[in-house]
Structure 1
Amino acid sequence: MGKILKVSNVNDYGSYLGCTSRHPLVCVIDYAEVSPIRHSLNNYSVYGLFLRDDADVDLDYGCGKYDYNKGTLLCVAPGQIGGKEDNGERVAITGWALLFHPDLLHGFPLERHIKEYSFFDYRVNEALHMTDEEHDIFVLLMRQIREELGKKQDELQNAILVNYIELVLNFCQRFYNRQFVTRKVENSDILVRFDRLLRDYFEDELQLTLGLPTVQYCADKLCMSPNYFGDVIKKTTGGSASSHIRRFVTQLAKNMLAAGENVSQVSDHLGFEYSQHFSRMFKKQEGITPSEYCQRLRT
């Protein structure tokens, strides 16, 4: 991998694009004003939201690539690498970027719950495709934040900026929720593939060497980030991906118990290290122990 731009603070990226700094912890960039730009592969120590309106551009992100469409939003968090390596060419792009440093959030409630915005950990091919209305809302908020950044700093400015950022994130969450709903057919297909993956896992007896299937394992096999996968399953079923796995395993256990296997055999067969762990999971799911379930079958 070639040269990586270290974005330790928001103005590292702004300076690279020739954008003047207005605040040490927040930066809003209108790409139309700095275009054409050179690409950069960035190592982020800040949060970033990037709205791209221009023609398709291949971007690297983690292990994947993504073709940007008009009105596509990508969110990154500290510790992530994203962008496209500088190849010397200058490209004309339009769109907006909002970067903010974690230090801005110190002392504000958002510092505690920013991790709840799971889209910061989505892969690039899970980016948000915005409707025209969503796009306009996002751009309006970028303009308002930039207007605030142009004002003289006072003791309330950071609180106002954090409130704006939280508003942006809440709108982004709403937009993602909409995307999950409008992709119901695609999401139900993911659920079918999830169930097929679980069936194959136990039919191939992978549980005997790997133990119970994890959300991470399933997400990897379905080519999704764990967060995006979890959000799709939650929107589709109303429950978490891990609870879906537990329900699937419990149903397998009930089938085995009904076929005459004892609790210890079922526990071993399903890949539990200890039978008490199996019994605990079963009781949590069914409200009774496996032994009580067997007694009910006999009566």
Structure 2
Amino acid sequence: MKETTKIDTIEAYNQCFGLKTRHPLVSVVDLSQTTQWPDPLRFSYGIYALFLKQVKCGNIQYGRQTYDYQDGTIICFAPGQVAEVTRIPGARPSAYGLLFHPDLIRGTALGQEIKRYSFFSYAANEALHLSEEERQTILDTMRKIDRELDLPFDKHSRRLITAHIGVLLDYCMRFYDRQFATRSEVNNDVIARFEQLLDGYFDTDAPQHEGLPSVRYFADKVCLSPNYFGDLIRKLTGKTASEHIQDRLIDRVKELLLSSGKTMSQIAYELGFQHPQHLSRMFKRLTGMTPNEYRSVG
């Protein structure tokens, strides 16, 4: 078992690579300026981190996935995540990184919105691939943060820095939307597989043993992180993965109400509900009718 280095402060990260700490809660780092590089390196993050790769110099392992970290890609980490980096022998690291502690954004507009940036929980093999123009946009925004860190701190500094970080993350969201749209063939395969898995789940007795399926269940089946899978489904279909699951569930309830003499309790238990009234409430909310009303007019 490789030793894990806990990175819960900006100083802890900078010490690993011999970099200067200009602010205890935020840092823009140029990894080409490192004076040391522990190898192999296994980090447990307690801070937010975003890295823009300049040249190929190593691989990142995140969970069970290994990602060939190519030029012009962005990968992000959030507090609680663990990643392992292995450097190619003789290669000089070249990447820009933004690191910020949760305390920097606590009580700010960015702190209230940070969960919206779901790409922090994407797996390494779901990294953001940038065009040259997009790469330059990211670099320009990082440099604005870097320039703020070189100035004497005043009452405006924190607000300006967090605002620039928010702009940077908004650009990442825009570029991810583009990536979702341009990978139509691969993404359509994921959606088709999701539909097949939905049908297959309710065609078996899995609900009686496993209960209602979660978004994570289907994400695991298609080898994606739950956040990436959920965002992909929502962006390409206009509906969340949870809504797709609910729709398929309600379709199955309608079918059983009209094609069998089973009671609502029997149907609920068959579909994985522990309490029949939960299914009845869901059915009324989504269809505007109670199960008995639907059966009587069907």
**1:117–1:169 CA contact under 8 A, matched in 2:** yes
Displacement of 1:199: 1.4
Q: Gaps (5+ residues) in structure 1?
A: none
Displacement of 1:290: 1.4
Cα deviation, 1:68-88, whole Å, max 9, x if unaligned, reads: 12111111111111132589x
SS for the counterpart of 2:19 is: coil
SS for the counterpart of 1:155 is: coil
SS for the counterpart of 1:91 is: coil
- Mapped partners of 2:197, 2:123: distance in 1: 21
Corresponding residue of 1:31: 31
**1:267–1:278 CA contact under 8 A, matched in 2:** yes
**2:54–2:72 CA contact under 8 A, matched in 1:** yes
Cα deviation, 1:88-109, whole Å, max 9, x if unaligned, reads: x553122211101111113311
- Mapped partners of 2:172, 2:94: distance in 1: 19
SS for the counterpart of 2:272 is: coil
**1:49–1:73 CA contact under 8 A, matched in 2:** yes
- Mapped partners of 2:82, 2:239: distance in 1: 31
Q: Does 1:257 align with 2:257?
A: yes
Corresponding residue of 1:178: 178
Kindly report which structure 2 residues correspond to 1:52-71, keeping only aligned pairs within 5 A, or say none.
52-55=53-56, 57-71=58-72
- Mapped partners of 1:102, 1:169: distance in 2: 15
Letter in 1 for 2:253: A
Cα deviation, 1:250-288, whole Å, max 9, x if unaligned, reads: 111112222133333322322222222221111122111
Summarize the Cα distance change of 1:142–1:239 in structure 2 as closer, same or farther, 3 Å threshold: same
**1:258–1:294 CA contact under 8 A, matched in 2:** yes
Summarize the Cα distance change of 1:95–1:122 in structure 2 as closer, same or farther, 3 Å threshold: same
Corresponding residue of 1:102: 102
Letter in 2 for 1:184: S
Corresponding residue of 1:279: 280
**1:56–1:70 CA contact under 8 A, matched in 2:** no
SS for the counterpart of 2:193 is: helix
SS for the counterpart of 2:107 is: coil
- Mapped partners of 1:78, 1:147: distance in 2: 25
**2:18–2:36 CA contact under 8 A, matched in 1:** no
- Mapped partners of 1:144, 1:6: distance in 2: 28
Percentage of matched positions with identical amino acids: 40
SS for the counterpart of 2:3 is: coil
Q: Gaps (5+ residues) in structure 2?
A: none
Corresponding residue of 1:293: 294
SS for the counterpart of 2:44 is: strand
SS for the counterpart of 1:232 is: helix
- Mapped partners of 1:177, 1:236: distance in 2: 9
- Mapped partners of 1:202, 1:56: distance in 2: 46
Cα deviation, 1:128-170, whole Å, max 9, x if unaligned, reads: 1111111111111112211111112222111111111111111
Kindly report which structure 2 residues correspond to 1:1-299, keeping only aligned pairs within 5 A, or say none.
1-34=1-34, 37-39=37-39, 40-55=41-56, 57-84=58-85, 91-262=91-262, 263-297=264-298
- Mapped partners of 1:187, 1:35: distance in 2: 41
**2:58–2:87 CA contact under 8 A, matched in 1:** no
Displacement of 1:35: 7.2
Displacement of 1:38: 4.0
SS for the counterpart of 1:65 is: strand
Letter in 2 for 1:134: E
- Mapped partners of 1:282, 1:219: distance in 2: 25
* Runs (4+) off by over 6 Å: none
CA RMSD after TM alignment? 1.9
SS for the counterpart of 2:248 is: helix
Q: Please report the TM-score for the alignment, with normalisation by the length of structure 1.
A: 0.93
**1:11–1:27 CA contact under 8 A, matched in 2:** no
Summarize the Cα distance change of 1:107–1:203 in structure 2 as closer, same or farther, 3 Å threshold: closer
SS for the counterpart of 1:69 is: coil
Q: Please report the TM-score for the alignment, with normalisation by the length of structure 2.
A: 0.93
Letter in 1 for 2:204: D
SS for the counterpart of 1:70 is: coil
Cα deviation, 1:231-265, whole Å, max 9, x if unaligned, reads: 01111221111111010011111122221333333
**1:122–1:225 CA contact under 8 A, matched in 2:** yes
**1:37–1:90 CA contact under 8 A, matched in 2:** no
